[in-house]
């Protein structure tokens, strides 16, 4: 198939520019380049800042003005504050069908066209040296190098956020990061500052349900969804606007780990996620997602139960189905981590003609903040000249000099307007091709306030919880218990329970019981009545949306000298046919001598290859080898952990002795006997379910807890 199509030159035959008074001046003839932003987006108007009405105030979202004045201000690079721990890869985005009916965006103009892309996945709170499997929101950022400039979709693996207005972002991150007096805990929210903040911020409740779910401990980035979070606009050539929410759907399906597994993975391999991405791409098992659009009009927005500009809310897929319009494929690892993954600069303000913002107050603030972030991190206004950030389409502007400038403009003219004609006069704005903001009507008083619908903080949190399976609900309960168990202040714990009572009484009682709270606090008073009639949304559950197969996963086989060579060969063949991998774990890294006398290389020594590294395991020692394994703590842990983490376990006859030593019963339907080569395919078919959740015993709810005193300082709205 053809590779990504590189952009064609951005040029118009005729050029004009408007003077300060709005008059139009024709330039003299010649092939004049189109004026663009640093990202390569054509500029429609270089004379006027975006404002509310002709005499109204300037708007924060004017990304072009912000870029222009930002660069001028700095004409004469540290670790990210958030998302420091990340890993990126190159690839392409392929459009399924033209979308010219809803957007003029060039990336959606032609069927089958491939656009170069770079994606970066990250945790939010930890520093660069933290571990991959911290319980944390995951960044999911994609840079698309389109023919009309760079378009950055800068989102997370969760479709909602903790706060509604960007003015609270510094407070949220200060509270969530390590506490300033002691510098810990690292990459964790299980501490007083975070829970104090969210317990006093009811709008965080919905996001807390997601954060305490398995979404924040994904098996790997290639098995998680991504979201644009905010409501955006798509605008077609006629100027018609359609609201849109962006979704990335993993082709391999969703998958997470369990908490005990995450804790052990962080010790066994703190680079587990980045290693997984690197290994998958190098093996040709390219991570892939489909881009989905939730499209809706103004009438729907006005009739929806919640405000579509509220970043703490989502639109259920059952209400507005997702239209899949293209695929993102990551097929090339970086050549240099620092030059690419570390220096890549994502900014929400980077959009292209055909895409536009809404008045989401969190998005508006992000548009302002990200440019300053790049200046701080990358040392000056010329970060857009770095190869990873530079557009791949032609670009032209009059911004010059500044710290570390390595693009050398030529010629005498460095201002606009000017009277020099043709190419000598430099680029000119293009009303025909340039970015034009959708002319939505804006009116109202200048004030600091939020819409009334923003005040419903619990209804969708409740909907998320009732949309989870019983297994997932148990994990949420346990996550709240763990996190609040690290909180020293009893008042903070009570305030959180008071909020949870608005979500689900049984959940609140279960968490309270596990924390030893004898009397439930009084329910936090909601600023807006909780809607209890919202139906479950199965799309919100990981386990309700299983993957199509076991492809992309990994089985670890514990083997010894004398292991059945034919059985190993059959298992490898069955996994190859499924698109999965087999890795051998042996007593030493030197490998084994199999039953047929062949020497087989080991992928892991047992001491460095615990079962948490694999999606399923096979215990296939010889009768002599199992005696050696039974005496090894690492072998007993290998089996015991796999069983405790509800993994499918294949085993030969000799393995029973190891099971007995590990205290593991080999009797449930997730433990599969593999004695003949034909059994291998049957085991792989069982693994398509990913986990044998029936093994996870349902934890009993605590005895009924009587209401107690109200928690201190639970605010309204």
Give me the phi and psi of 429, to 5 degrees please. -60, 155
Q: How far apart are CA 98 and CA 113, in angstroms?
A: 10
Catalytic residues: 83, 156
Please provide the distance, in angstroms rounded to a whole number, between the alpha carbons at the two ends of the chain: 54
Strand ranges in 463-553 using DSSP code E only, listed in sequence order: 519-520
Residue 199 near residue 457 (C-beta atoms within 8 A):
no
Residue 243 near residue 296 (C-beta atoms within 8 A):
yes
For residue 91, what is the enclosing H or E element?
A: strand 86-95
Give me the phi and psi of 39, to 5 degrees please. -90, 0
Q: How far apart are CA 530 and CA 360, in angstroms?
A: 23
Residues paired with 67 in a beta bridge: none
Say which residue the tokens 């640093």 belong to: 38
Nearest residue to 60 via CA among 69, 47, 51: 51
Residue 514 near residue 476 (C-beta atoms within 8 A):
no
**Cα-based torsion angle of the residue sequence 172, 174, 178, 183 in order, rounded to the nearest 10 degrees:** -170
Give me the phi and psi of 427, to 5 degrees please. -70, 155
Q: How far apart are CA 696 and CA 645, in angstroms?
A: 8
Residue 38 near residue 398 (C-beta atoms within 8 A):
no
**Three-state SS at 683:** helix
Strand ranges in 408-499 using DSSP code E only, listed in sequence order: none
Give me the phi and psi of 335, to 5 degrees please. -85, -35
Give me the phi and psi of 130, to 5 degrees please. -80, 175
Say which residue the tokens 């059959």 belong to: 570
Residues paired with 24 in a beta bridge: 18
Question: CA 567 → CA 340, 615, 627, distances in Å?
Answer: 43, 19, 20
């Amino acid at each position: 198939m053809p590779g990504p199509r590189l952009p064609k030159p951005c040029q118009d035959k005729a050029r004009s520019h408007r003077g300060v008074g709005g008059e139009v001046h024709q330039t003299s003839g010649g092939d004049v380049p189109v004026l663009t932003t640093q990202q390569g987006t054509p500029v429609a108007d270089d004379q006027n800042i975006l404002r509310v009405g002709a005499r109204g105030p300037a708007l924060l979202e004017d990304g072009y003005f912000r870029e222009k004045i930002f660069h001028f201000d700095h004409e004469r690079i540290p670790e990210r504050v958030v998302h420091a721990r990340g890993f990126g890869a190159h690839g392409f985005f392929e459009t399924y069908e033209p979308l010219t009916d809803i957007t003029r965006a060039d990336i959606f103009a032609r069927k089958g066209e491939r656009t170069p892309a770079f994606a970066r996945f990250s945790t939010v709170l930890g520093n660069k040296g933290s571990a991959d499997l911290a319980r944390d929101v995951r960044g999911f950022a994609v840079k698309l190098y389109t023919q009309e400039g760079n378009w950055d979709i800068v989102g997370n693996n969760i479709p909602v956020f903790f706060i509604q207005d960007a003015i609270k972002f510094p407070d949220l991150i200060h509270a969530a990061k390590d506490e300033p007096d002691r510098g810990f805990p690292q990459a964790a929210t299980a501490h007083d500052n975070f829970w104090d903040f969210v317990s006093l911020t009811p709008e965080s409740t919905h996001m807390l349900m997601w954060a305490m779910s398995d979404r924040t401990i994904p098996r790997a980035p290639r098995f998680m969804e991504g979201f644009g979070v905010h409501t955006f606009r798509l605008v077609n050539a006629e100027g018609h606007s359609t609201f849109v929410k962006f979704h990335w759907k993993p082709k391999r399906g969703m998958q997470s780990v369990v908490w005990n597994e995450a804790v052990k993975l962080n010790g066994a391999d703190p680079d587990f996620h980045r290693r997984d991405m690197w290994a998958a791409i190098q093996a040709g098992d390219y991570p892939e997602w489909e881009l989905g659009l939730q499209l809706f009009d103004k009438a729907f927005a006005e009739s929806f139960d919640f405000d579509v500009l509220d970043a703490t809310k989502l639109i259920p897929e059952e209400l507005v189905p997702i239209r899949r319009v293209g695929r993102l494929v990551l097929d090339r690892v970086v050549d240099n981590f620092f030059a690419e993954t570390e220096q890549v600069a994502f900014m929400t303000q980077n959009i292209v003609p055909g895409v536009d913002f809404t008045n989401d107050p969190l998005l508006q603030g992000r548009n302002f903040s990200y440019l300053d972030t790049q200046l701080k991190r990358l040392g000056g206004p010329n970060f857009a000249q770095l190869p990873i950030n530079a557009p791949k389409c032609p670009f032209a502007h009059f911004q010059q000099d500044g710290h570390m400038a390595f693009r050398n403009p030529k010629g005498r003219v460095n201002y606009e307007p000017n009277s020099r004609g043709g190419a000598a006069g430099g680029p000119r704005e293009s009303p025909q091709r340039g970015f034009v903001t959708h002319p939505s009507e804006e009116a109202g008083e200048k004030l600091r306030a939020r819409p009334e619908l923003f005040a419903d903080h619990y209804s969708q949190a409740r909907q998320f919880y009732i949309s989870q399976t019983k297994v997932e609900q148990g994990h949420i309960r346990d996550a709240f218990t763990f996190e609040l168990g690290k909180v020293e202040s009893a008042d903070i714990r009570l305030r959180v329970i008071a909020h949870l009572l608005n979500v689900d009484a049984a959940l609140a009682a279960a968490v309270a019981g596990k924390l030893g709270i004898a009397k439930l606090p009084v329910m936090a008073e909601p600023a807006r009545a909780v809607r209890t009639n919202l139906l479950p949304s199965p799309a919100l559950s990981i386990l309700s949306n299983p993957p199509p197969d076991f492809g992309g996963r990994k089985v670890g086989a514990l083997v010894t000298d004398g292991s059945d060579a034919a059985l190993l060969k059959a298992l490898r063949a069955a996994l190859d046919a499924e698109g999965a991998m087999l890795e051998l774990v042996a007593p030493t890294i030197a490998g084994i001598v199999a039953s047929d006398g062949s020497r087989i290389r080991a992928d892991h020594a047992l001491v460095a290859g615990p079962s948490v590294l694999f999606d399923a395991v096979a215990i296939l020692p010889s009768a002599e080898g199992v005696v050696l394994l039974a005496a090894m703590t690492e072998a007993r842990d290998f089996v015991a952990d796999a069983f405790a983490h509800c993994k499918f376990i294949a085993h030969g006859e000799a393995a029973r002795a190891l099971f007995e030593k590990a205290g593991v019963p080999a009797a449930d339907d997730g433990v599969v006997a593999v004695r003949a080569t034909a059994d291998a395919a049957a085991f792989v078919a069982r693994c398509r379910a990913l986990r044998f959740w029936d093994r996870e015993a349902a934890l009993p709810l605590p005895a009924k807890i009587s209401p107690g005193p109200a928690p201190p300082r639970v605010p309204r709205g």
